Structure 1
């Protein structure tokens, strides 16, 4: 069986889109996925399913969540191999070990522009370090996300992509859960 992680965008964050994790587990089980588990309350699920690729899983989950449980949000999925590669390929290992809550990975549906850091630097000079790797963007927030002006600056680039972000603590917990 292929193992997948689903990352839901904007669920149970800042008062937006409330979804009890028990309801998410029930939904995924009803969809025919097996070994369904959730992690934390921010829209992270792990499940097994064979014979379906990520784009088809995302489209199916988004369509069926809207129809069955009246949830309109984006689902981004990654395989266990993709998540393991993301963890092992972390360009900021010192941040992961010393302040993992300040290391964030933004997951995209499509690849982020490789020159995104350079494009941002033309009008934004914040302290964050950014490394783009395909569909993921690793971000070191040395002063934390709360006061950072990075996300509004990224929005000015009008990338038109679907994405969601998780801090390093969550990512490593997801990765460990996928290994069980």
Structure 2
């Protein structure tokens, strides 16, 4: 049995694409998963499963959401070991920073460094970003809302079929904790 986190992209934002967390829990349970819990209203669920792998579980949940709620939702599913590795491999001193200063964008697959080659990182200092394993770490000392680097990263050309969803450091750490029963 493996514990996973499902990361849903773009739900319950600004009153659009509403997906109540109770309904998400019910949907995951109906798909045969156990230990289902949700975190916040912005689209995080934790569950255990004995079947599938990350990509197939994400596709299954995405299809089920569209069938039940009538709108498509991009979903990433990540196992505890991956979430823990992302937190442990943060290239920034996370313990010394306020959680609002650090963000992780999770990707559905590897991201080639040339995707961001046109961004002059020195022009955005003290803001910085680093690529990790299917993720991008963003240090924005004044917060995401004021980040010019986040703006520049968001303007990069999308890679066809690549799903991306971002979380603040508090959520990154909480998902590691919530999926920790694998240890």
TM-score for the superposition, normalised by structure 1: 0.90
Q: Find the counterpart in structure 2 of residue 36 from structure 1.
A: 36
- Is 1:114–1:133's contact at 8 Å kept on the other side of the alignment? no
Q: Find the counterpart in structure 2 of residue 92 from structure 1.
A: 92
SS at match of 2:77: strand
TM-score for the superposition, normalised by structure 2: 0.89
- Is 1:117–1:131's contact at 8 Å kept on the other side of the alignment? no
The residue correspondences of 1:1-180 to structure 2 (distance < 5 A) are 1-93=1-93, 95-116=94-115, 118-121=117-120, 125-127=123-125, 128-160=127-159, 161-180=162-181
Q: Against the structure 1 CA distance between its residues 98 and 150, is the aligned structure 2 distance closer, same or farther, given a 3 Å change threshold?
A: closer
SS at match of 1:130: strand
Q: Mind listing any 5+ residue stretches in structure 1 that lack a counterpart? A: none
Whole-Å separation in 1 of the counterparts to 2:12 and 2:86? 24
Whole-Å separation in 2 of the counterparts to 1:50 and 1:22? 22
- Is 1:117–1:130's contact at 8 Å kept on the other side of the alignment? no
Whole-Å separation in 2 of the counterparts to 1:44 and 1:17? 15
